[in-house]
């Protein structure tokens, strides 16, 4: 599935001629595929919210009898034709999709980073993948990340990709690697980190332009807990995508939060969990988009924006449907 999605992403890129535009088109298509799940989730939330007064009455009546409360609650759900999982199950199903998409983008990122590494080892200037303010879409949008692939990015590439990259040379190694005792086995999982470090050290010592691009000369150094973050000379971006990912996540939570809170009703534990998730996801998106490629951060931001637009449209359609049902005397959402 991951490889098929990667091939599909590459096909979109061949059509758009740019990886950034390909990511945007890809994101819109993924969100369209997930639209039926979003609709089911919204409908489920509305149905559950309509039952809150009755659920509150049951909780008050059987406050001291948990077993009876569970029984009566199940009977109420069955009578009203409401599945309590209908609002959250579709959302849970989107997580496997997110993981598959992330793996597909990581595959693309690994391939492009290794393609950029080859000319660097031959004392040539690699062709980067710029998009808007970002110099290289396959590196993080950050003041602390260089535009060229660094050790951190190279270490994230799995062994099978390194072995495929090394095998392509078929004995004709780049100039900087000639004379090193490297084989395909050198990039096996057990030896991978040492070999990557060796390639990086060789590149750093043998390519003055590369070393200069990663230089922190004239920059600032910040101490964050035990990690030192240094603004590199040729930084890749301004951290706009990670910030936008967190902001858009907050806005999306605001848009969807009202209906979710109604569905949670008077359940204090659920309300507390909801508040925790309100802040967890923005922080999570900030961290992950700060750490991984700009391509994935672009997908995350665009996904949030498209999701917000979809939510507004779906809510408007369901509001009109509810109003028509009330006028017709039905009073419930089916």
Reported as type and span, the H/E element at residue 221 is strand 221-224
- Do 123 and 251 lie in a common domain? yes
Q: Look at 125 and 78; give whichever has higher pLDDT.
A: 125
Cα 275 from Cα 282, distance rounded (Å): 12
Provide the residue range defining the domain that includes 88.
Answer: 2-129+239-323
Q: Is residue 73 part of a domain?
A: yes
- Do 243 and 309 lie in a common domain? yes
* Arithmetic mean of pLDDT, 218-242: 69
Q: What is the 3-state secondary structure (H, E, C) of the chain?
A: CHHHHHHHHHHHHHHHCCHHHHHHHHHHHHHHHHHHHHHHHHHHHHHHHHCHHHHHHHHHHCCCCHHHHHHHHHHHHHHHCCCCCCCCHHHHHHHHHHHHHHHHHHHHHHHHHHHHHHHHHCCCCCCCCCECCECCCCCCCCCCCECCCCHHHHHCCCHHHHHHHHHHHCCCCCHHHCCCCCCHHHHCCCCHHHHHHHHHHHHHHHCHHHHHHCCCCCCCEEEECCEEEECCCCECCCCHHHHHHHHHHHHHHHHHHHHHHHHHCCCHHHHHHHHHHHHHHHHHHHHHHHHCCHHHHHHHHHHHHHHHHHHHHHHHHHHHHHHHHHHCCCCCCC
* Arithmetic mean of pLDDT, 204-213: 86
Give me the pLDDT at residue 271, please: 54
* Arithmetic mean of pLDDT, 269-273: 54
What phi and psi values does residue 97 have, to the nearest 5 degrees?
-65, -45
Give me the pLDDT at residue 168, please: 84
- Do 12 and 86 lie in a common domain? yes
| Residue after which a domain boundary falls, among 207, 228, 253 | 207
Give me the pLDDT at residue 44, please: 73
Which tens digits make up the pLDDT trace of 56-100? 787 777 777 777 777 777 777 777 667 666 556 556 666 777 788
- Do 8 and 57 lie in a common domain? yes
Which tens digits make up the pLDDT trace of 9-23? 888 988 988 899 998
- Do 99 and 187 lie in a common domain? no
- Do 8 and 116 lie in a common domain? yes
Q: How far is CA 128 from the centre of its chain?
A: 22
Q: How far is CA 37 from the centre of its chain?
A: 18
- Do 199 and 275 lie in a common domain? no
Q: Is residue 269 part of a domain?
A: yes
pLDDT higher than threshold 50 for residue 333? no
Q: Is residue 227 part of a domain?
A: no
Q: Look at 255 and 332; give whichever has higher pLDDT.
A: 255
Q: Is residue 330 part of a domain?
A: no
- Do 162 and 18 lie in a common domain? no
Which residue is associated with the tokens 């057990």?
Answer: 190
Q: Is residue 224 part of a domain?
A: no
What total number of domains does the chain contain? 2
Reported as type and span, the H/E element at residue 97 is helix 89-121
| Residue after which a domain boundary falls, among 207, 225, 252 | 207
- Do 171 and 253 lie in a common domain? no
Give me the pLDDT at residue 276, please: 64
Which tens digits make up the pLDDT trace of 147-169? 999 888 999 899 989 988 888 88
Reported as type and span, the H/E element at residue 223 is strand 221-224
Q: Is residue 216 part of a domain?
A: no
Q: Look at 271 and 108; give whichever has higher pLDDT.
A: 108
Q: Is residue 310 part of a domain?
A: yes
Q: Is residue 86 part of a domain?
A: yes
Which tens digits make up the pLDDT trace of 280-322? 788 888 888 888 889 989 998 998 898 888 888 888 887 887 7
- Do 109 and 37 lie in a common domain? yes
| Residue after which a domain boundary falls, among 188, 207, 226 | 207
- Do 122 and 248 lie in a common domain? yes
- Do 101 and 10 lie in a common domain? yes
């Amino acid at each position: 599935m991951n490889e098929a999605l990667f091939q599909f992403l590459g096909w979109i890129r061949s059509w758009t001629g740019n990886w950034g535009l390909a990511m945007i088109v890809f994101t819109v298509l993924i969100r369209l595929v997930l639209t039926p799940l979003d609709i089911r989730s919204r409908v489920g939330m509305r149905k559950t919210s309509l039952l809150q007064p009755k659920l509150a009455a049951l909780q008050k009546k059987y406050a001291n009898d948990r077993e009876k409360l569970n029984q009566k609650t199940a009977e109420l759900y069955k009578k009203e034709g409401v599945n309590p999982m209908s609002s959250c199950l579709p959302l849970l199903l989107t997580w496997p999709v997110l993981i598959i998409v992330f793996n597909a983008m990581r595959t693309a990122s690994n391939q492009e980073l290794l393609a950029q590494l080859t000319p660097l080892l031959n004392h040539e200037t690699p062709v980067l993948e710029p998009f808007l303010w970002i110099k290289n879409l396959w590196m993080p949008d950050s003041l602390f990340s260089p535009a060229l692939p660094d050790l951190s990015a190279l270490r994230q590439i799995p062994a099978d990709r390194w072995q495929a990259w090394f095998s392509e040379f078929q004995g004709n190694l780049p100039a900087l690697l000639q004379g090193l005792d490297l084989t395909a086995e050198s990039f096996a999982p057990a030896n991978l980190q040492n070999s990557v470090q060796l390639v990086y050290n060789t590149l750093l010592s043998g390519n003055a332009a590369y070393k200069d691009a990663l230089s922190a000369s004239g920059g600032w150094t910040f101490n964050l807990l035990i990690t030192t973050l240094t603004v590199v000379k040729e930084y890749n971006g301004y951290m706009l995508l990670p910030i936008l990912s967190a902001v858009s996540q907050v806005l999306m939570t605001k848009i969807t939060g009202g209906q979710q809170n109604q569905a949670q009703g008077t359940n204090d534990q659920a309300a507390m969990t909801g508040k925790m998730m309100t802040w967890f996801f923005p922080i999570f998106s900030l961290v992950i988009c700060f750490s991984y490629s700009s391509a994935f951060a672009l997908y995350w931001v665009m996904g949030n924006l498209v999701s917000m637009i979809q939510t507004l449209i779906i809510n408007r359609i369901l509001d009109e449907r509810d109003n028509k049902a009330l006028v017709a005397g039905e009073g419930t959402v089916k």
